[in-house]
Structure 1
Amino acid sequence: MTGARIEAVTLNRADLRFPFPPRFAARLKGQTVIALGRRAKYLQADLGSGEVLVMHLGMSGRFRVTGPDGRVSEPGEFEAEPGGGPRHDHVVFRLSNGFTVTYNDTRRFGFMDLVARAELETSRHFRDIGVEPLGNALDGPLIARLFAGKAAPLKAALLDQRLIAGLGNIYVCEVLHRAGLAPQRAAGTIDAGQAERIAAEIRAVLSEAIEAGGSTLRDYAHTDGSLGYFQHRFRVYDREGEPCPTPGCRGTIARLVQSGRSTFWCEACQR
C-alpha cells in the first residue's frame, strides 16, 4: 500500500464493530498512502490528505492481498479454521499499482476510522493508550512509577493498555515467568530491581516473538499464509501440568483464572 494511490473503496456493509465515519469511501478515494505505521494494536496509514486511516483487526480480522496477476496471498493454514469466506469480505481497497487489499472479519470486532494527523494522539483511539513496550521510554524506573501504589494484580497491571500498550495475555504470562514474579501479587509491591527485570523481559519476549513470526493459535497467520512459531518457545503458556523449565526448579506449571482469562505460572519459582 505504501506509495500507492487508493483508486476505489468498496464497503459491503455500513459498519464493522462501529459504523464507518461519514463519507469514508469518498475521503479515501484518490488518496496516496504516504506511510504505514503502528500504535499499540492499531495499524495506521498516513494519507496525502493529512488524515490517517486507523485500522484495528479485532479478534478475527485479516487482510487478503490480490496481486496484479490475480495471485492471492492470505492466511491459509489454521489450527481452527475461522470460516472467513467471501461473505465476510467487508472492505475492499483497489490500488493504483494493481493490487487489491480486502479486509475480511468473521466476528466483525475490528473497525476502521479516519482521523486528522494533527489530532491523532488526542483522538478517542489513542488518548488513553500507554507507553510502547519496545519504545525507548520503557524502563525499570518508568514501570516502578506506573505501578506505584497499585493494589491490582501484577498481571492485570501489565495488561492495562492505559499503562503499557499492546501487551497481551500470552506474553504477559511469559514475561512474569522469566522475571520470577507471581501474577497475583500486588503491582505496587515490586521493587526497583524487579521493575528492571520486568522491563528487560518485556523486550526479550516481544523481540523473540517478532523474530519467530508471532504465535499461531486458533485463527492467526500471516498474509502470505505462513504461521508464527513462538508458541513452540512458550515456557508456561498452555503448559498446565508440565514441569517448570526454569533450571533447578522442581515446580509444575499451574493454571489460574484472573479476570476471566487463563494465567499459567509456576508457584515454586514465581514469587
Structure 2
Amino acid sequence: MPELPEVETIRRQVAPVVEGRCVERLDVLDPRWCLPLTPEELRDAVEDRRVLRLGRRGKYLVWELAGDVFLLLHLRMTGTLLVEPPADVPYQRVVWTLSDGGTLRFCDPRRFGTGELAVGIDALDAFFAQRLGLEPLDEGALTGAALRAMAKGRTAPIKAFLLDQRRIAGVGNIYADEALHRAGVHPLRPAGSLKAAQYDALARTVREVLEDGIDAGGATIDDFRHADGVMGAFQHRFLVHRRAGEGCPGCGAEIVKMVVGGRGTYVCETCQPRPRLRRATRPRPAGAARGDRSGRPAPSR
C-alpha cells in the first residue's frame, strides 16, 4: 500500500499540474470508487470548480476546490494517479479533464481506492479527526514525549502501534520496519514499555525514514508508480524490510521475518533485541502471610 512518502511524491508531482485549473469534467468509471455517493452526485459537486490547492493528510490526497469543497482521494493498495497517460492505460477508474485540456487518470487493479467528499472546513476536520492522528512531518508534532504519552499503558506491540493511523498518520509497514531497526527497537516490544531514550530515538527515526522515502521518490515493490509512470527508488535503500535471510548491514546477523499484528515484519534480533518474557507470578493462597509463597502460616515471633 502506498504510504506517506509515496502519496507525498504523487502530491508534489501533480500539484503544479492541477492547481489554478478548473475541473472541467470528472468521469467516474467505477461507481464503487465514490460510494455512498453516486458518480452523478460527486460530479455535480466537483465540476467547474477551481483547484486551489492539492494537499495531503496522512495517506490521503486532498483536493481543495473553490467554495470549501474537498475531494479526498485514497490510493489504498494498488491505486496510481497518472498525468497524461495513454488513453488506453489499463484499470482506469476515474478520469479528470482540466480546463487547460490536461487529463489525469486514476488506475487501480484491485479497486480498493476511494474518493470521498467533504463540504466545508468543519466537515473536513471531522472526517480526519475520526481517522487520523498526528502528522509526523509537521514541525514539532512527533516527539519522544508525544509518543510516550500516546503509548502509556498500551500493551500492543510497538509495530502495531505505529501502524495505527489514529495515532500517527501515514506510517505503514515498510517505514515502520525501517524506523524500528534504525532505533534499535524490537517490533514485539509492548508499546508502553519503552524507555524515554527509545521513544526519542523512534520519533527521530520515523521522521528520518519518511523524509528519506520522499527523497527517493517512494518505494516500488509491486504497483506504486510516480505520476509519470516511473518507479520509486527507496526499495534499494531498505536495511531490513523484505531482506529476510540476508545479513544485517549493521552487524551481519541474519535478518528474520515474523508476523506482528498480522503484518509481515523484518527485524535483526541482534540490533533489535527481543523483549524478555516476564514470568507470571503465582497468586498467593488465601490466608498466606504477605511475602510467604508457601501458603504456610507465618511463624510466630
- State the TM-score, normalized to the length of structure 1: 0.88
Indicate whether 1:35 and 2:50 are aligned: no
Letter in 1 for 2:22: R
Does the CA contact (< 8 Å) of 2:21 and 2:50 recur in 1? Answer: yes
Between structures 1 and 2, the one with greater strand share? 1
Change (3 A) 1:33 1:255: same
Shift of 1:250: 4.3
- Percent sequence identity is 41
1:259 corresponds in structure 2 to 261
- SS at 1:54 equivalent: strand
- SS at 1:16 equivalent: helix
Indicate whether 1:15 and 2:18 are aligned: no
Shift of 1:126: 4.2
Shift of 1:16: 2.1
Shift of 1:64: 2.5
2:132 corresponds in structure 1 to 129
- SS at 2:159 equivalent: helix
Once the two structures are superposed, the pairs formed by residues 1-271 of structure 1 within 5 Å of their partners are 1-16=18-33, 18-20=35-37, 23-66=41-84, 72=85, 85-86=89-90, 88-118=91-121, 119-123=123-127, 125-136=128-139, 137-246=141-250, 249-271=251-273
Q: For each residue in 1:160-198, what CA deviation from the matched residue of structure 2 results, as whole angstroms up to 9, or x when unmatched?
A: 111111101011011111100111011111111111000
Does the CA contact (< 8 Å) of 2:242 and 2:266 recur in 1? Answer: yes
Letter in 2 for 1:117: G
Distance 1:105 1:30 in 2: 25
- SS at 2:61 equivalent: strand
- SS at 2:53 equivalent: strand
Distance 1:142 1:12 in 2: 43
1:79 corresponds in structure 2 to none
Does the CA contact (< 8 Å) of 1:64 and 1:73 recur in 2? Answer: no
Does the CA contact (< 8 Å) of 2:157 and 2:261 recur in 1? Answer: no
Gaps of 5+ in 2: 1-17, 274-301
Between structures 1 and 2, the one with greater helix share? 2
Change (3 A) 1:210 1:177: same
Whose radius of gyration is greater, 1 or 2? 2
Shift of 1:65: 2.0
Letter in 2 for 1:89: Q
Distance 1:117 1:193 in 2: 41
Shift of 1:73: 7.2
Letter in 1 for 2:239: R
2:294 corresponds in structure 1 to none
Distance 1:17 1:182 in 2: 39
Letter in 1 for 2:235: Q
Change (3 A) 1:211 1:227: same
Change (3 A) 1:13 1:204: closer
Q: For each residue in 1:79-133, what CA deviation from the matched residue of structure 2 results, as whole angstroms up to 9, or x when unmatched?
A: xxxxx954x322211111110112222111011111023221112x542311011
Shift of 1:29: 1.4
Distance 1:105 1:94 in 2: 18
Letter in 2 for 1:5: C
Using the TM superposition, name which of 140-149 and 13-22 deviates more. Answer: 13-22
Aligned length, in residue pairs: 253
- SS at 1:120 equivalent: helix
Does the CA contact (< 8 Å) of 1:140 and 1:195 recur in 2? Answer: yes
Pairwise CA RMSD? 1.8
Shift of 1:17: 7.0
Distance 1:126 1:39 in 2: 11
Letter in 2 for 1:152: A
Letter in 1 for 2:260: Q
Does the CA contact (< 8 Å) of 2:82 and 2:229 recur in 1? Answer: no
Distance 1:73 1:213 in 2: 22
Moved over 6 A (4+): none
Letter in 1 for 2:81: F
